């Protein structure tokens, strides 16, 4: 449903909704029900923000999202990964990882031939950055 324009002031909205505070008191929630019936569906809000503050805000948000993304990736995948975990980390199949290992195209660690294969997360990140190609033309 599209937002409708309203000439209701913030004071009127606060008054209509009880200042945003609903009691759980003796009215059995009647004030909350009344506020829900009388509150407008949407209120238009206009802000004038200078362009340089928008740029600073965008940079801060980008940094925050980047740090959260790396923090969640670090929590989801350990420093050392097996084939299945590395495949999930690189968003491909374990078979593709095994083929890359067989062709020695991906950095891996193995104690001896026929033993388990391990990957370090930061080596995979470096490898992915190095093998990155531009868009198709």
Strands of the sheet with 117-120, listed across from one edge: 80-81, 117-120, 109-110
**Span 72-98, pLDDT tens digits:** 655 567 899 999 999 999 999 999 999
Predicted pLDDT of residue 131: 83
Range 99-113 average pLDDT: 95
**Span 19-32, pLDDT tens digits:** 544 444 555 556 66
* Domain covering 70-130 in this structure, CATH number: 1.10.1660
State yes or no: pLDDT of 126 exceeds 60: yes
Tell me the pTM.
Answer: 0.44
Helices (H), 1-137: 10-16, 30-38, 51-76, 83-90, 94-102, 121-130
- Please report, for the chain, the start and end positions of each structural domain, with discontinuous segments joined by +: 1-51, 70-130
Predicted pLDDT of residue 30: 61
């Amino acid at each position: 449903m599209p937002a409708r324009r309203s000439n209701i002031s913030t004071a009127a909205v606060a008054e209509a909704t009880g200042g945003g505070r609903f009691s759980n008191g003796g009215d059995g929630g009647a004030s909350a029900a009344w506020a829900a019936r009388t509150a407008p569906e949407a209120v238009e809000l206009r802000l004038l923000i200078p362009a340089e503050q928008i740029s600073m805000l965008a940079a801060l948000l980008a940094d925050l999202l980047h740090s959260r993304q790396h923090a969640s990736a670090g929590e989801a995948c350990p420093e050392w990964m097996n084939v299945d975990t590395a495949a999930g980390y690189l968003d491909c199949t374990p078979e593709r990882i095994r083929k890359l290992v067989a062709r020695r195209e991906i950095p891996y660690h193995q104690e001896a031939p026929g033993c388990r294969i391990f990957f370090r997360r930061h080596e995979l990140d470096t490898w992915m950055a190095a093998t990155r190609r531009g868009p198709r033309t």
